[in-house]
Amino acid sequence: MNYLRTAMLLAGLTALFMGVGYLIGGASGAMIALVIAAATNLFTYWNSDRMVLSMYGAHEVDRASAPELVGLVAELAGRAGLPMPRVFLMDEPQPNAFATGRNPENAAVAVTTGLMNQLSREELAGVIAHELAHIKNHDTLLMTVTATIAGAISMLAQFGMFFGGNRDNNNGLGIVGSILMMILAPLGAMLVQMAISRTREYAADNLGARIAGQPMWLASALVKIEGAAHQVPNLEAERNPATAHMFIINPLSGHGVDNLFATHPSTQNRIAALQQLAAELGAQSPSVGANENYPPRSPWGRSSPSRGPWG
């Protein structure tokens, strides 16, 4: 079913790409767009992870350069039954994280310096477990390829508007079609990626909470990240909004509720689902606040300080 959903989403994005091409150049434009879409899909399958990591200036770390972070990822990956992913650090003050890679054997987890500085060790474990859940659910390829193709659709729409459309094509829309293309094509691409993003975020929250062993660690982390995301801008994400759905919390400003144009479920709804899961698992489920810390034991059973992940 996961592969079927992936194929359907990629087909939808390719169809949008072809539709934009048709509005620009008629039937020949649609065929050119199909060729471009096929080449884009093939290229992004092998290179999309490197493209996104490079876009955000992420650099790889190891046990020598970041022993606590890499050790935490290794322990949680073991709990999840996953191969050890590569670990990357982004020099970004906004706390956030994402996972990428075409499969679990070629996966990467990237976190910001802001995330490491502002979250407790337990909260960080909840976030990393969420990203590992995306890897385990084989979401990372779809999320990264979607970001690349959605960005290409928006770029092609802008290209078509710049040239004013093809007034001689058979659709007869001319400049009107070009304007509609500029508005509707990026919107259609956004709607497709949003629909898939919401369901996958809920699923990753659930599985990630089970991997970490305490749903409220992730719930507390989401509160902190959500609050900081509205105060600390992520300039690279603002320049590349097609990648926003990859992050655990929308890094763009002005997105706090569930609506048609939100790339993520509302944080309140996600916390409610995690509280329900905590109750089902028999875990303690206190009210969530930005300064709360959850059980002072790490997911692998050792004592863990609550003042911060590295303190």
Active-site amino acid positions = 131
Q: Which residues are annotated as a binding site for Zn(2+)?
A: 130, 134, 201
Within a 10 A sphere around the Cβ of 286, how many other Cβ atoms?
Answer: 12
Cβ pair 295, 304 in contact under 8 A: no
Name the residue among 245, 203, 248 with its Cα closest to residue 224. Answer: 248
Strand, helix or coil for residue 180? helix
Closest to 186 measured CA to CA, from 139, 241, 225: 241
* H-assigned helices in the chain: 2-55, 67-80, 113-118, 121-136, 140-162, 174-212, 215-229, 235-239, 267-280
Distance, CA of 216 to CA of 285 (rounded, Å)? 7
Supply angle C-alpha 164, 167, 170, rounded to 5.
130
How many CA atoms, within 13 angstroms, populate the side-chain half-sphere of residue 234?
A: 33
**282 Rama sector, left if φ>0, alpha if ψ -120 to 50, beta otherwise:** left
Question: Helix (H, G, I), strand (E, B), or coil: what is residue 173?
Answer: coil
Check if the beta carbon of residue 250 is closer than 8 Å to that of residue 263. yes
Among residues 208, 206, 204, 220, which one has the least CA distance to residue 120? Answer: 220
